[in-house]
Chains A and B, each alone.
Chain A
Amino acid sequence: MQRFTELVVAAVLLAGLYATMAYGLGLIYGVLRVVNLNHGGIIMAGAYVGWLLHEKFGIDPYLSIPAVVAVSFVLGIAIYRGLVRHLPRGPAGAVQSLLLLFGVWLVLRNAAYLLFTGNDQTIRTEYSTRSVAAFGLALSVNRVAVFGIAVLTLVVLHLFLTRTFTGKAIRAVAQNADSCTLVGVDVERIYSLTFGIGTALAGLAGLLGASLFSFNPSYGSGDLLKSFVIVVLGGLGSVMGTAAAALILALVEVFAILALPSYLTGAVGFVLLVLVLVLRPGGLFGHRVLG
């Protein structure tokens, strides 16, 4: 029973991080109909920016959140304005933007190899190994903090999308871009803003992930697939759906450790991705992602 609780709590704490990164991917897809294959690249970039700030300037990873979010936001806007915007919209552009963003990912990975070598890096702080007691368990301070920040981010994002004018405009553009143009919404501005918010979430997820796990320039490819599983499972646009799907994925991953030999646990996410795409292409919670 003790072990069971431990695993469930571990899964819940992990799910916060998963939901943050998946929401970034889902938001961009929901509004722009573009699968950001560079999601993993931004996650990796976020991890390295945080690492650099910690290593060179001694800034605590949690204090560097604004900087990392700002950097990945600007990076996302630059990618949208410079590249994605020039592709045809809609069906014809779907595969093209996939390949284009894949190219951007390759470039980012190569840049990271050149700048930071291929070695594994970690962000280690003095509280990395500390833990707090709760539910009769010892919880890592880092994991609890990451969970808290992830939940806070999702709440803020939800409020932004439902309560502010810009947030409502984003949701309106997702529903019908042409009508938005008619009523005076600057659709192009909303697109680049959305892309920026999506990548900012990816960057934040990268930084949070980097304070838990080690990373190298190919970090993020697994997270891209996990994000995709969650988006497909949870449907678009709903924070609750995303959170529930993130929890399901985290539970499956954590409990797979019990059932499978350790080297196979890495494959669980990939297998789940294929299963979800094939069995529930409409998502679990009714928001159809696929046509």
Chain B
Amino acid sequence: MKLLPHWVSRPALAALVAALAIGAVLPKVLGWSVYSQNQVTETLLFVAAALAWNWMGGYLGQVSFGHSAMFGLGGFISARLLLALHLPFWIAWIVGGLVAAGYALVWGHPTLRLRGPYFSIATIGVGEATRLVMTYWEDLTGGSSGLSLPITPGLKSELYWWALALMGAVIAGSYALRKSTLGLGLLAIKSDVDAAADVGISPTLMQDIVLLLSGFTVGVCGAFYASYQNFIEPGDMFGFDRSISFVLMAVIGGVGTIIGPAFGAVVFVMLRQYLIGSYPQLYLGIYGVLLIVVILFEPLGMMGLFFRIARRFGLLRPEVEATLEAKAAVGGAAADPGAREGGAP
């Protein structure tokens, strides 16, 4: 009897289970303080969010500057449910995620017909419009003064294990998305939409599926964040900075890979913690410089750096490297159909 689809590699599965098991006992073994455990919780949460962004930005090659819309919507829907109905928090998270996914489909289905830069710019519009509307929709978001959630004693430390489970699920999901037939279809769409459609892949359907998954997961992350912070306000949840942070995590780590965005999120959360503590007036510029340096010198981010080192020591076979780079590249070959057809003024 076959328990697993053929594309699941047993060593990879074992490694993930082992890593999660180690993660589960780590706080007790190392005797973390409340503060450090919370830091790790937040990091794990953003690893999940960065990977979910990467399903769109990396696998599909559609860079979204509007993911804060789903993050915020998930957060506020979940918070309202917790306040009004006193549901168990995980039910509220799932409902928040579903609403976020629905919203993603509403704006994403039409805009995903656009490729590359056009899609990115449309998402800036979506994100900003959502932020404006939400800031004034006081019945949902409490306006500029935000929402406070009921405080459950002990919840914050319990959330560590929930974050670990969420991240585990998202990593498994990323792996499945990459290796399954759907993942191969996405890679084809990223390389060339028209050619993919010619060989019987439905770009519309596949893009919608990825959009729903990404929106749902980011929505759940937003809902988790609301429970974790106990207080949320629209300026932070829906802010442009929030959207940028997802982009930065993935780009710093290495767009299109699984390990890349995960590491990128870890680096980003630590860096932000340090910068807000030491140089609060410089953090925007440092993100900018990071983005410039990464794009200019190593478009694959930390993963690219890793490839480079591995190549230096002869650890990477050329054909493996070629596939990896094709999967990871920022923006697909069809990112700008206008350039190919030379639609000149």
Chain A interface residues toward B at CB < 8 A: 30, 33, 35, 37, 83, 86-87, 90-96, 98-100, 102-111, 113-114, 171, 174-176, 221-222, 224-225, 228, 232, 235-238, 263-264, 266-267, 269-271, 273-274, 277-278, 281, 287-291
Closest chain A CB from B298 CB (angstroms): 11
User: What are 22 contact pairs spanning A and B, CB under 8 A?
Assistant: A33-B339, A90-B336, A91-B337, A94-B339, A95-B63, A95-B331, A106-B288, A107-B289, A224-B124, A236-B343, A264-B132, A267-B128, A267-B133, A270-B125, A270-B129, A271-B125, A271-B129, A274-B110, A274-B129, A278-B122, A281-B114, A287-B345
Q: Among residues 313 to 345 in chain B, which have CB atoms less than 8 Å away from a CB atom of chain A?
A: 329-345
Let me know if A103 and B126 touch, CB within 8 A.
Answer: no
| Chain B residues positioned under 8 Å from A98 (CB to CB) | 63, 116-117, 120
Let me know if B296 and A277 touch, CB within 8 A.
Answer: no
Cα A269 to Cα B118 in complex, Å, equals 16
Chain B interface residues toward A at CB < 8 A: 61, 63, 107, 110-111, 113-114, 116-118, 120-122, 124-126, 128-129, 132-133, 135-136, 240, 244, 247, 251, 281-292, 295-296, 299, 329-345
Decide yes or no: A274 and B330 within 8 Å by CB, A103-B288, A264-B133, A290-B118 being known contacts: no
Seed contacts A33-B336, A87-B295, A113-B281; 10 additional CB < 8 Å A-B pairs: A92-B335, A94-B331, A102-B244, A102-B291, A106-B287, A110-B281, A175-B342, A271-B125, A274-B107, A274-B111
Let me know if B341 and A291 touch, CB within 8 A.
Answer: yes
Let me know if B282 and A277 touch, CB within 8 A.
Answer: no
| Chain B residues positioned under 8 Å from A35 (CB to CB) | 117, 120-121
Q: Of A106, A176, A237, A274, which one neighbours B342 at CB under 8 angstroms?
A: A176
Q: Of A83, A92, A267, which one neighbours B132 at CB under 8 angstroms?
A: A267
| Chain B residues positioned under 8 Å from A290 (CB to CB) | 114, 118, 337-338, 343
Closest chain A CB from B250 CB (angstroms): 10
Chain B residue with minimal CB distance to A30?
Answer: B345
Cα A248 to Cα B343 in complex, Å, equals 24
| Chain B residues positioned under 8 Å from A33 (CB to CB) | 336, 338-339
Cα A287 to Cα B117 in complex, Å, equals 18
Cα A103 to Cα B247 in complex, Å, equals 11
Do most interface residues of chain B lie in helix, strand or loop, or is the interface mixed?
helix
Chain A residue with minimal CB distance to B136?
Answer: A263
Cα A219 to Cα B296 in complex, Å, equals 26
Cα A93 to Cα B340 in complex, Å, equals 12
Cα A100 to Cα B120 in complex, Å, equals 13
| Chain A residues positioned under 8 Å from B240 (CB to CB) | 221
Cα A271 to Cα B329 in complex, Å, equals 31
| Chain A residues positioned under 8 Å from B290 (CB to CB) | 103
Closest chain B CB from A98 CB (angstroms): 5
